[in-house]
Structure 1
């Protein structure tokens, strides 16, 4: 299938395109800059280089979060708009599952995560079984300490994949010891081509049904709801 993949859910902005022969092109940047200004020019240039018109696409795949609130919205909205205008389906794929896909070489549990501040992380637990990436524990936002205790109870080696690994490496090693394995620099960055690979084990959906998955409310939303709880209406 000819699939366009889009990922703007973190500092990494990436796009990839495939055909029946596999991945044709992949474009990735890894710095904090306005994804909304750079995404479509990157898509346009990549499609031009592989000599493929948007009308030839069969589907669009997007990283749907959790991740940066603004970043997730940019990627999901762009994917939905393109798919709707072209009359093709979309694939919404967990950003954590996308990151876990980089651990295909690891035989044990795979824990992708991202720092969520205040001692919490966005995370989930995955594992490759017969070449298929399966979800062992669903994506969530949780206390890092509580999560590490749960992982420790499995008594199994765990591969940690995250751009925030160094920030939390000491705490992870204190709890899991030698059973903690850390991915390399390249593995700690999500690849848009992995979104395309993951579509093989998923069902497409109509564009209007794709929604971001934030795992928690934005800080502004929390403050708004807190204010609303104390408000009375006449």
Structure 2
């Protein structure tokens, strides 16, 4: 069994190949480069170095989110393109799950934290002593709320992920349980973990077609949120304009309508009187004749 792993949910671009239970290749770059320019060349390089055919891959495990919207879309498009071209199944591996999967053997509660900006993180809770256990599925959380939950659980915690540097001071200030921070070689996303956990899912039959795969963003993008705010503001402006239109005939136009009705009535009366006078004149002329 040979699994290709793809990770592009953050600044990290990573590809790996797991053959049976052995990591045979991994290529990871953690730089501000466009994943659309790096992933395919990286895949080509590991295939070339292993001297295997790309078609020998049995399935493609892809980091399915959450994370960078652009990065996830690029990774998803790459995996789907390869899956369609080679007619191979895809394996959706939750990003936070894969991060935790790299910390085998710890007796602490594993807590990955991915920076989601504005004091928000993507996180999840896991155990991986003898077997991998999802304590709480990945979810978006405020950092302080996450720390409060960890304090309530009362377990020793180990943190990892790109959310550690920006929020480490806040975590250390608020955490009341024993905690640690993962070292450099296991504190970021890695395609090796995606491929290894993907191999477990593959053996369990948890695959999907390329057309079925969809990234799991966990929340709406900033552009989508801003569009919704703009739409709500537009609706409020339309509603306010509608209220003004309704109020106008009830307030300003009512007296005007009354005056116009009186003028119309006077005009009709004068017209009727004039017609009567004309008729009498005609009758008088006829009598004289």
TM-score, normalized by length of structure 2? 0.76
CA distance in 2, matches of 1:21, 1:160: 26
How far did residue 178 of structure 1 move?
5.2
CA distance in 1, matches of 2:95, 2:163: 15
SS at match of 2:218: coil
* Structure 1 residue aligned with 2:12: 12
User: Contact 2:63 / 2:95 at 8 angstroms: preserved in 1?
Assistant: yes
Moved over 6 A (4+): none
Provide Cα deviations, 1:148-206, integer angstroms capped at 9, x if missing partner: 10111001101101133132222212222451111111211222111121124321112
User: Contact 2:154 / 2:177 at 8 angstroms: preserved in 1?
Assistant: no
User: Contact 2:151 / 2:176 at 8 angstroms: preserved in 1?
Assistant: no
Structure of greater Rg: 2
* Structure 2 residue aligned with 1:136: 135
How far did residue 10 of structure 1 move?
0.8
How far did residue 59 of structure 1 move?
0.3
* Structure 1 residue aligned with 2:229: 226
Q: Whose RCO is larger (CA < 8 A, sep 6+)?
A: 1
How far did residue 60 of structure 1 move?
0.4
CA distance in 1, matches of 2:21, 2:89: 20
TM-score, normalized by length of structure 1? 0.93
Structure 2 unaligned blocks of 5 or more: 239-289
User: Contact 1:112 / 1:124 at 8 angstroms: preserved in 2?
Assistant: yes
Alignment of 1:1-234 (within 5 A): 1-20=1-20, 22-131=22-131, 133-177=132-176, 179-202=178-201, 203-229=206-232, 230-231=234-235
Whichever structure has more strand as a proportion of its residues is 1
**Matched residues, number:** 231
CA distance 1:18–1:187, change in 2 (3 Å): closer
Structure 1 unaligned blocks of 5 or more: none
SS at match of 1:209: coil
CA distance in 2, matches of 1:166, 1:86: 40
* Structure 1 residue aligned with 2:277: none
SS at match of 1:110: strand
SS at match of 2:40: helix
CA distance in 1, matches of 2:21, 2:99: 23
User: Contact 1:59 / 1:89 at 8 angstroms: preserved in 2?
Assistant: yes
